[in-house]
Amino acid sequence: MCQIHSCMKPNLSHALILGLLAAALSGCTTTHRSAKVAEGRVVLDIAPIQVDVQVDTTRTLLGVAKSTVILGVFKREERVHAVYPAMDFGRGPGRSEKTAAVAKALQGTDFDVLVNPKFIVQERRGLFVTTTTCQVAGFGGKFEFQ
Protein backbone atom coordinates (compact mmCIF):
# COMPACT_ATOMS: atom_id res chain seq x y z
CA MET A 1 0.00 0.00 0.00
CA CYS A 2 2.89 2.30 0.61
CA GLN A 3 4.13 1.80 -2.91
CA ILE A 4 0.77 2.62 -4.50
CA HIS A 5 0.45 5.72 -2.35
CA SER A 6 3.94 6.99 -3.32
CA CYS A 7 3.27 6.46 -7.06
CA MET A 8 0.05 8.40 -6.98
CA LYS A 9 1.62 11.25 -5.06
CA PRO A 10 2.82 13.90 -7.54
CA ASN A 11 6.41 14.87 -7.02
CA LEU A 12 8.36 17.96 -7.97
CA SER A 13 9.98 16.47 -11.08
CA HIS A 14 6.59 15.65 -12.64
CA ALA A 15 5.34 19.17 -11.99
CA LEU A 16 8.51 20.65 -13.51
CA ILE A 17 8.22 18.51 -16.64
CA LEU A 18 4.55 19.41 -17.07
CA GLY A 19 5.33 23.09 -16.56
CA LEU A 20 8.10 23.05 -19.19
CA LEU A 21 5.89 21.19 -21.64
CA ALA A 22 3.08 23.72 -21.17
CA ALA A 23 5.50 26.63 -21.65
CA ALA A 24 6.95 25.08 -24.82
CA LEU A 25 3.53 24.52 -26.37
CA SER A 26 2.19 27.98 -25.59
CA GLY A 27 4.54 30.13 -27.70
CA CYS A 28 3.79 33.74 -28.59
CA THR A 29 4.21 35.44 -31.95
CA THR A 30 3.69 39.12 -32.64
CA THR A 31 3.44 40.60 -36.13
CA HIS A 32 3.53 44.30 -36.86
CA ARG A 33 2.64 45.65 -40.30
CA SER A 34 3.60 49.12 -41.37
CA ALA A 35 1.87 48.94 -44.74
CA LYS A 36 -0.61 46.64 -46.39
CA VAL A 37 0.23 45.02 -49.68
CA ALA A 38 -1.98 46.31 -52.45
CA GLU A 39 -3.91 43.76 -54.41
CA GLY A 40 -4.13 44.10 -58.15
CA ARG A 41 -2.48 46.69 -60.32
CA VAL A 42 -1.43 49.98 -58.69
CA VAL A 43 -0.41 53.08 -60.63
CA LEU A 44 1.30 55.91 -58.80
CA ASP A 45 1.60 59.29 -60.45
CA ILE A 46 3.90 61.45 -58.37
CA ALA A 47 4.93 64.84 -59.68
CA PRO A 48 8.52 65.90 -59.01
CA ILE A 49 9.01 68.42 -56.24
CA GLN A 50 10.36 71.77 -57.39
CA VAL A 51 12.76 73.27 -54.86
CA ASP A 52 15.53 75.85 -54.84
CA VAL A 53 18.32 75.89 -52.28
CA GLN A 54 19.41 79.30 -51.03
CA VAL A 55 23.03 78.92 -49.89
CA ASP A 56 24.56 81.26 -47.32
CA THR A 57 28.27 81.52 -48.17
CA THR A 58 28.94 84.27 -45.64
CA ARG A 59 29.59 81.83 -42.82
CA THR A 60 30.86 78.29 -42.49
CA LEU A 61 29.04 75.74 -40.38
CA LEU A 62 31.19 73.35 -38.34
CA GLY A 63 30.35 70.09 -36.61
CA VAL A 64 32.32 67.43 -34.73
CA ALA A 65 31.15 63.93 -33.83
CA LYS A 66 32.95 61.19 -31.94
CA SER A 67 32.37 57.51 -31.30
CA THR A 68 34.16 54.99 -29.11
CA VAL A 69 34.21 51.22 -29.58
CA ILE A 70 35.33 49.11 -26.62
CA LEU A 71 36.55 45.55 -27.15
CA GLY A 72 35.18 45.66 -30.70
CA VAL A 73 31.65 45.14 -29.40
CA PHE A 74 30.38 48.03 -27.29
CA LYS A 75 29.87 51.27 -29.23
CA ARG A 76 29.11 54.68 -27.77
CA GLU A 77 28.14 57.27 -30.37
CA GLU A 78 26.07 60.37 -30.99
CA ARG A 79 22.30 59.94 -30.86
CA VAL A 80 21.32 62.49 -33.53
CA HIS A 81 22.10 61.83 -37.20
CA ALA A 82 21.28 63.68 -40.41
CA VAL A 83 19.50 61.62 -43.06
CA TYR A 84 20.29 62.35 -46.71
CA PRO A 85 18.97 59.49 -48.88
CA ALA A 86 20.72 60.70 -52.03
CA MET A 87 24.09 61.42 -50.38
CA ASP A 88 26.64 58.65 -50.16
CA PHE A 89 28.75 58.96 -47.02
CA GLY A 90 31.06 56.17 -48.17
CA ARG A 91 31.89 52.84 -46.62
CA GLY A 92 34.17 52.00 -43.78
CA PRO A 93 35.02 53.90 -40.62
CA GLY A 94 33.42 57.27 -40.12
CA ARG A 95 30.10 56.72 -41.89
CA SER A 96 27.85 57.18 -38.85
CA GLU A 97 30.19 59.85 -37.47
CA LYS A 98 29.77 61.84 -40.71
CA THR A 99 25.97 61.88 -40.42
CA ALA A 100 26.23 62.87 -36.75
CA ALA A 101 28.71 65.67 -37.54
CA VAL A 102 26.38 67.06 -40.23
CA ALA A 103 23.49 67.02 -37.74
CA LYS A 104 25.61 68.86 -35.18
CA ALA A 105 26.66 71.46 -37.77
CA LEU A 106 22.99 72.17 -38.59
CA GLN A 107 21.82 72.07 -34.97
CA GLY A 108 20.60 75.42 -33.69
CA THR A 109 20.42 77.00 -37.16
CA ASP A 110 17.57 77.70 -39.55
CA PHE A 111 19.27 75.77 -42.36
CA ASP A 112 17.85 72.59 -43.88
CA VAL A 113 20.94 71.13 -45.55
CA LEU A 114 24.73 71.33 -45.40
CA VAL A 115 26.04 72.30 -48.85
CA ASN A 116 29.50 71.24 -50.08
CA PRO A 117 30.53 69.42 -46.88
CA LYS A 118 34.21 68.64 -46.34
CA PHE A 119 35.00 65.83 -43.92
CA ILE A 120 38.08 64.96 -41.90
CA VAL A 121 37.86 61.51 -40.30
CA GLN A 122 40.46 60.41 -37.78
CA GLU A 123 40.53 56.91 -36.31
CA ARG A 124 42.71 56.03 -33.34
CA ARG A 125 43.13 52.36 -32.54
CA GLY A 126 44.24 51.20 -29.13
CA LEU A 127 44.59 47.74 -27.67
CA PHE A 128 40.98 47.60 -26.43
CA VAL A 129 39.47 50.92 -27.58
CA THR A 130 38.96 52.49 -31.03
CA THR A 131 37.99 56.15 -31.19
CA THR A 132 36.70 57.73 -34.42
CA THR A 133 36.35 61.51 -34.71
CA CYS A 134 34.78 63.31 -37.67
CA GLN A 135 34.92 67.03 -38.38
CA VAL A 136 32.77 68.63 -41.06
CA ALA A 137 32.69 72.12 -42.55
CA GLY A 138 30.24 73.43 -45.12
CA PHE A 139 27.72 76.11 -46.00
CA GLY A 140 24.14 76.21 -44.79
CA GLY A 141 21.34 75.89 -47.30
CA LYS A 142 17.63 76.63 -46.93
CA PHE A 143 14.97 74.96 -49.09
CA GLU A 144 12.49 77.20 -50.93
CA PHE A 145 9.66 75.16 -52.36
CA GLN A 146 7.94 76.44 -55.48
Q: Which of 71, 70, 133, 68 is nearest to 104 (CA)?
A: 133
- Residue 35's contacts (CB-CB under 8 Å, 6 or more residues apart) are none
Angle subtended at Cα 59 by Cα 53 and Cα 61, rounded to the nearest 5 degrees: 80
What 3-state DSSP class applies to 58?
A: strand
DSSP assigned state of 123: E
* pLDDT in the model for residue 34: 46
Alpha-carbon gap, residue 3 to 6, rounded angstroms: 5
pLDDT at 78: 85
**pTM of the prediction?**
0.64
Q: Alpha-carbon distance 28 to 139, whole Å?
A: 52
Per-residue pLDDT of the chain (146 residues; tens, 9 = 90+): 444 444 555 566 767 777 666 655 555 544 444 444 445 566 667 778 888 999 999 999 999 999 999 998 888 888 888 887 667 777 767 788 899 999 999 999 999 999 989 998 898 888 999 999 999 999 999 999 88
Report the distance separating Cα 2 and Cα 143, nearest Å. 89
Q: Check: CB of residue 136 under 8 Å from CB of residue 105.
A: yes
CB–CB of 77/103 below 8 Å? Answer: no
* CA pair distance 82, 69, nearest whole angstrom: 21
Q: How far apart are CA 88 and CA 56, in angstroms?
A: 23
What does the pLDDT read at residue 23?
Answer: 58
Residues 6+ apart with CB under 8 A from 93: 121, 123, 132
Q: Quick one: pLDDT at residue 128?
A: 92
- In the chain, domain spans: 51-145
